[in-house]
């Protein structure tokens, strides 16, 4: 029960908005939010029923997993994947087989020496900056071509958006702009034209798990809401259905270079050049809630299979 209340630590309701203290995010309680909340409740009910069932079967856990410095709620991927992979979640880092660094912030601030004296295996401990600028810099270093632009010299249509993670505030603008119009809190990137059918914008959310692409969500959005989270349709695919072998290798190399062990990477393919661009990284990702419960669990199970298999090679304490 104590852990249940930790899920909602730092969450406040005010003026019809949800305020997340840890990230500073402010979420409007609107129709889309209510729909997502219903989806989360269905997922949580599924996992509680699953836990009750396992009280009687008592399956032996494959290991213990702790989180630091935050405790993820059941609406996060890693919480669901850990359950499906057969790991027992514990609050005791000193005895945990694995400790997942879970900090829902753009820039990590946790104490890097927190696990001194413990032989726990750390996950996601090397990724401490998921700002749009840093993502773009690592992308260019790995792929060899740029996403970022110089807003004072670039000519044409491009994107301005917050450098922080999870804001969904992108705006298409005409460039160049005057130096005094440049906002240091914003990032400026080329406009990736992924409107393959002329009516919708497409992007690819890569579920990355310990050196492997577990699956890819192929999402289609309204053109007038290309930066939002409303999807017109969604398919779950394997990596080789949407990427070449070379592209898969580059995405994995990017994830390793930026320090990601488990999370989501948003990729867009430009319809004119055919090139792919990594535009976002999320180390504390949530499920794609527009999927139905059955499809949602099936996707999470695919991630869980990879998670368990990969961790089996990480340390001798996995049983």
Buried b / exposed e along 238-251 (16+ C-beta atoms within 10 A)? ebeebbeeebbebb
Q: Which two tokens stand for residue 235?
A: 């398919």
For the domain 132-282, what is the CATH superfamily, name and number?
Answer: ATP-grasp fold, B domain (3.30.470.20)
Q: Where exactly are the structural domains of the chain?
A: 2-126+299-311, 132-282
Instruction: Provide the pLDDT for residue 27.
Output: 56
Whether the per-residue pLDDT at 1 is higher than 50: the answer is: no
Whether the per-residue pLDDT at 195 is higher than 50: the answer is: yes
> Comparing C-alpha atoms, which of 190, 203, 6 is closest to residue 90?
6
Determine if residue 254 is left, alpha or beta; phi over 0 gives left, psi from -120 to 50 gives alpha, anything else beta. alpha
pLDDT in tens, 248-282: 999 999 999 999 999 999 999 999 999 999 999 99
Whole-prediction pTM: 0.87
CA atoms within 13 A on the CB side of 168: 12
């Amino acid at each position: 029960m104590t852990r249940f209340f930790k899920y909602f630590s730092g969450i406040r309701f005010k003026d019809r908005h949800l305020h997340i203290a840890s990230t500073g995010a402010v979420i409007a309680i609107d129709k889309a939010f209510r729909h997502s909340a219903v989806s989360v409740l269905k997922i949580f009910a599924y996992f509680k029923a699953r836990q009750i069932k396992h009280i009687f079967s008592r399956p032996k856990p494959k290991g213990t997993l702790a989180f630091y410095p935050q405790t993820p709620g059941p609406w996060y991927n890693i919480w669901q994947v850990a359950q499906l992979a057969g790991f027992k979640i514990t609050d005791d880092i000193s005895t945990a087989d694995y400790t997942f660094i879970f900090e829902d912030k753009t820039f990590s601030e946790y104490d890097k020496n927190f696990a001194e004296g413990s032989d726990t295996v750390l996950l996601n401990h090397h990724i401490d900056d998921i700002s749009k600028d840093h993502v773009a810099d690592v992308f260019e270093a790995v792929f060899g071509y740029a996403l970022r632009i110089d807003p004072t010299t670039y000519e044409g249509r491009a994107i301005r958006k917050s450098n922080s993670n999870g804001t969904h505030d992108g705006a298409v603008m005409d460039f160049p702009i005057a130096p005094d119009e440049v906002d240091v809190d914003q990032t400026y990137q080329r406009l990736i034209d992924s409107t393959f059918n002329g009516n919708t914008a497409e992007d690819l959310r890569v579920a990355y798990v310990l050196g492997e692409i577990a699956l890819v969500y192929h999402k289609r959005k309204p053109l007038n809401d290309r930066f939002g989270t409303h999807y017109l349709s969604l398919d779950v695919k394997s990596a080789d259905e949407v990427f070449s072998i070379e592209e898969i290798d580059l995405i994995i190399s990017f994830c390793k270079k930026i320090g990601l062990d488990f999370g989501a990477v948003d990729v867009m393919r430009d319809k004119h050049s055919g090139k792919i661009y990594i535009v976002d990284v999320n180390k504390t990702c949530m499920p794609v809630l527009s999927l139905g419960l059955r499809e949602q669990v099936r996707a999470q199970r695919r991630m869980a299979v990879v998670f368990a298999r990969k961790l089996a090679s990480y340390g001798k304490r996995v049983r």
